[in-house]
Structure 1
Amino acid sequence: MTDAAPRLTALATDLLGTPLPVRIRAWDGSESGPPGAPVLVVRHRRALRRLLWKPGELGLARAWVAADIDLEGDLYETLELLAGLPWDRGSAGERSLAAALLSAEYRSAGRDLLALAGPVPPPLPPPEEVRARRGVLHTKARDRRAVSHHYDVGNEFYERVLGPSMVYSCAYWKPGGTLEEAQRDKLDLVCRKLALTEGDRLLDVGCGWGSMALHAARDFGARVTGITLSREQALYARKRVAEEGLADRIEIRVQDYRDVIDGPYEAVSSIGMAEHVGAARYREYARDLFRLLRPGGRLLNHQIARRPEQDESTYRMHEFIDAYVFPDGELSALGTTVGELERAGFEVRDVEALREHYALTLRAWVRRLEEHWDEAVRLTSPGRARVWRLYMAASALAFEHQRLGVNQVLALRPGNGGSPPRPGLPLRTREWKADAGTR
């Protein structure tokens, strides 16, 4: 019989309480759903077992990573349609798939789904998933493991996704610009906001593959210490530093920010790193960076922000992101970040929102991944490549629909009557927005 797709469509409509906005093509060749709509391909009935054992987002993610399901049609359109369904928890008045499967009211539908799913034992999660995490969040050892999971997947893989700039954070776009130009302009913008001058000491927290350190040393004359918890990143960055002949100006360390004791610095850049700090540790993070700056020193904190919840106790990280992308990552609302920086002693001088810029950046990375798909799979694994494609495309939509933002917060350590502060910021503070370029 070839009736799996119609049965799945009927069951999904019943369990979710709303018609499916996509077509289904099942493992038996059958199809069902709105004509002309994007197609959700269920390649193996094992996908249904994943949903039965873990209803909601994580079960879907496991099926995607394992290639038990796939999408045909425009990736972004399909993700938008699927994201509107109540998989884990419905909005007010709606039920979720997880709740329906566990309720007595829908026991008959659950039995039908079980019959379609085949043998009951749960499939093993794909190997890319982080599991069996125990203990206190954001200890130094646990943070090292989380960073390694995300970043130590092969520098060559990241080259295919990020391009020659090797910058893994939101770029700064202008109309008609390229990804490389936008990343260069972002690094230049950070250096200008920090008012870097010849000989300034810069601490680059979460230095990645060394792009910010190289830009600050080469184009602004700074002396840079870059720190990362990723050994692969550090090796790559040191190689780039040596090739550019900047070893006398740049030091790359494998080091936790909590272990840096060689201040004071004139400036600190933290670009896309604070998302790993955690809410419970954020004030410690802010105080540590404050301690490392001399009076008058600047901090540029570039960080993804979530929308604030009316009840903050209900906030939780998406299961897919936590299990496959950024283990233990936590996003704060912008107001929370600014408040913590101020409580640490900083004077916040400027906040610039770059939300639309991150959506453009993520779409550019997805294009690069798709263009280099066979190489990306060879350099990592099919599952890992599928993780990155899904998370970057879904994140692009989150920025476009204002569910996520990204902000550059410029903060100053005020003078304290000790060593003289640096010259003040320009009276017209957005003067740093001059076109990128060398001095």
Structure 2
Amino acid sequence: MPHSRFQRRIEGLLAEADVRVGGDRPWDLQVHDPRFSARALGQGSLGLGESYMDGWWDAASLDGFLFRVLEARLDERVHGVGEVFDALRARLVNLQTQRRSGEVGRRHYDLGNDLYGAMLGKRLVYSCGYWRTAHDLDAAQEAKLDLVCRKLQLKPGMRVLDIGCGWGEALKFAVERYGVSGVGVTISQQQADFARELCAGLPVDIRLQDYRDLDEPFDAAFSLGMFEHVGVKNYTTYFDVARRCLPPQGLFLLHTIGGNRSVHRTDPWIARYIFPNSMLPSAAQIAHAIEGRFVLEDWHNFGADYDLTLQAWRANVEAAWPSLDPRYDERFRRMWRFYLAGSMATFRSRRSQLWQLVLSPRGVPGGYVAPR
């Protein structure tokens, strides 16, 4: 039988990650469909994720299973047949052009504010919290927003730009706590509508606009969790935009997930189901793009905090599923569980990082002292 050969191969690979098929530990794999092994071996991460969505396998601790797979580097040994084409396409084609940029807004950020409201907590902040002294998600997100404001040295009367403003929570926080005014741009219609309502009555201008169209003066600027959608072919353009909007003494804070290696595309399953046309920058790619444009004042890594943030998001959304719209059906829920668990695994294994960079156009006179 062909399946037996594939099954032996899968079982052998998983044994290297201390995972047993049919085992009784939380991270062990329970296979419900004999076609699973061939699909996972033939399609790599896409086959693994899609077969989970289809109910072909389970693990009591999905993040525990995926963490062990990544720790054992099994993902580097199993590649789907389409991945070579995807990699070549990403190198040859700019997948993040202005025409393509709206796709992630429509397919991910416009899924529904009800889903994100249930998952993200008190504030709709869809980026890593700062857990240094925090003990819950809401406190961690407030600590992160305050950290951003302190790093930017915000003062009353300053005009601030938020590139990729999401639901407007960061600008609202900065305006209310630090007395600034601001402009936020997003490519998501639902985010823009929500942010305008959230910031009603405040000196905040929310725009449905591509970052590349920005060309006006600000005293400071930040971008939280948006750079992952820019794409390496557009990094220099992105930093040119930030640079032309700032005065010589202005500061720019970049908050982004990062990878340990330079790539030109994202994971195939993530690209198809979660973040189309996205990719994680490497330190080398960022450094190359800011060369000649900014002075690097500070580079802060708190990637381990993302595991805690994701666990809190998962607890929130799991509690909320029964009350959410039926359009989030069982296959969607399994997709979302795989997304959150896989993300936990990448940060827990330190395969992904969370960076905050503080950049200045000409260097802070006398030096920059970074808050922590």
Smaller-chain TM-score bracket:
0.7 to 0.9
Q: What one-letter code is carried by the residue in structure 2 that aligns with 1:398?
A: T
Per the alignment, residue 12 of structure 1 pairs with: 7
Q: What one-letter code is carried by the residue in structure 1 that aligns with 2:138?
A: E
Q: In angstroms, what is the RMSD of aligned CA positions?
A: 2.9
Deviation, structure 1 residue 379 = 5.3
Equivalent residues in 2 for 1:287-366, closer than 5 Å: 287-308=240-261, 316-343=265-292, 345-366=293-314
Indicate yes or no: 2:370 matched with 1:412: no
Residues 250-269 of structure 1: per-residue CA shift (max 9 Å, x gap): 010000011112x1100111
Q: What one-letter code is carried by the residue in structure 2 that aligns with 1:275?
A: E
Residues 55, 88 of structure 1: 8 Å contact kept: no
Match of 1:40 among 25, 29, 39: 29
Residues 90-143 of structure 1: per-residue CA shift (max 9 Å, x gap): 2xxxxx4868xxxxxxxxxxxxxxxxxxxxxxxxxxxxxxxxx99742121211
Distance 1:377 1:318, change over 3 A: farther
TM-score normalized with structure 2 length: 0.87
Deviation, structure 1 residue 17 = 4.4
Indicate yes or no: 2:99 matched with 1:141: yes
Equivalent residues in 2 for 1:135-214, closer than 5 Å: 136-175=94-133, 177-214=135-172
Equivalent residues in 2 for 1:82-161, closer than 5 Å: 82-83=69-70, 89-90=76-77, 96=78, 136-161=94-119
| SS at structure 1 position matched to 2:255 | strand
Structure 2 unmatched runs, 5+: 82-89
Distance 1:176 1:203, change over 3 A: closer
Deviation, structure 1 residue 233 = 0.3
Per the alignment, residue 209 of structure 2 pairs with: 255
Distance 1:17 1:352, change over 3 A: same
Structure 1 unmatched runs, 5+: 25-32, 91-95, 100-132, 416-423, 434-439
Deviation, structure 1 residue 69 = 2.9
Deviation, structure 1 residue 9 = 7.0
1:334 and 1:135 map into 2 onto residues whose CA distance is 22
Q: What one-letter code is carried by the residue in structure 1 that aligns with 2:241?
A: D
Deviation, structure 1 residue 67 = 2.8
Deviation, structure 1 residue 152 = 0.5
Q: What one-letter code is carried by the residue in structure 1 that aligns with 2:7?
A: A
- Aligned-residue sequence identity (percent) comes to 33
Distance 1:299 1:86, change over 3 A: closer
1:401 and 1:349 map into 2 onto residues whose CA distance is 28
Distance 1:425 1:363, change over 3 A: farther
Indicate yes or no: 2:220 matched with 1:267: yes
Residues 366-398 of structure 1: per-residue CA shift (max 9 Å, x gap): 111222232346353333332222122221221
2:12 and 2:5 map into 1 onto residues whose CA distance is 10
Q: What one-letter code is carried by the residue in structure 2 that aligns with 1:358?
A: Y
1:426 and 1:223 map into 2 onto residues whose CA distance is 27
Higher relative contact order (CA 8 A, sep 6+): 2
| SS at structure 2 position matched to 1:141 | coil
Indicate yes or no: 2:172 matched with 1:218: no
2:14 and 2:113 map into 1 onto residues whose CA distance is 43
TM-score normalized with structure 1 length: 0.75
1:319 and 1:382 map into 2 onto residues whose CA distance is 22
Deviation, structure 1 residue 42 = 3.7
Q: Which moved more, 1:139-148 or 1:371-380?
A: 371-380
Distance 1:408 1:15, change over 3 A: closer
Q: Which has the larger radius of gyration?
A: 1
Q: What one-letter code is carried by the residue in structure 2 that aligns with 1:329?
A: S
1:266 and 1:380 map into 2 onto residues whose CA distance is 42
Distance 1:9 1:172, change over 3 A: farther
| SS at structure 2 position matched to 1:287 | helix
Q: Which moved more, 1:296-305 or 1:356-365?
A: 356-365
Per the alignment, residue 391 of structure 1 pairs with: 339
Distance 1:226 1:165, change over 3 A: same
Per the alignment, residue 86 of structure 2 pairs with: none
| SS at structure 2 position matched to 1:378 | coil
Residues 217, 246 of structure 2: 8 Å contact kept: yes
Indicate yes or no: 2:345 matched with 1:429: no
Per the alignment, residue 85 of structure 2 pairs with: none
Per the alignment, residue 54 of structure 2 pairs with: 66
Residues 223-272 of structure 1: per-residue CA shift (max 9 Å, x gap): 11010000000011111112xx31xx1010000011112x1100111111
Indicate yes or no: 2:257 matched with 1:277: no
Q: What one-letter code is carried by the residue in structure 1 that aligns with 2:246?
A: L
2:195 and 2:152 map into 1 onto residues whose CA distance is 22
1:239 and 1:167 map into 2 onto residues whose CA distance is 16
Distance 1:276 1:219, change over 3 A: same
Per the alignment, residue 122 of structure 1 pairs with: none
Q: What one-letter code is carried by the residue in structure 2 that aligns with 1:325?
A: I
Residues 59-93 of structure 1: per-residue CA shift (max 9 Å, x gap): 1211222333333x223222234446776652xxx
1:15 and 1:66 map into 2 onto residues whose CA distance is 19
1:172 and 1:251 map into 2 onto residues whose CA distance is 27
Indicate yes or no: 2:348 matched with 1:400: yes
Residues 3, 37 of structure 2: 8 Å contact kept: no
| SS at structure 2 position matched to 1:407 | strand
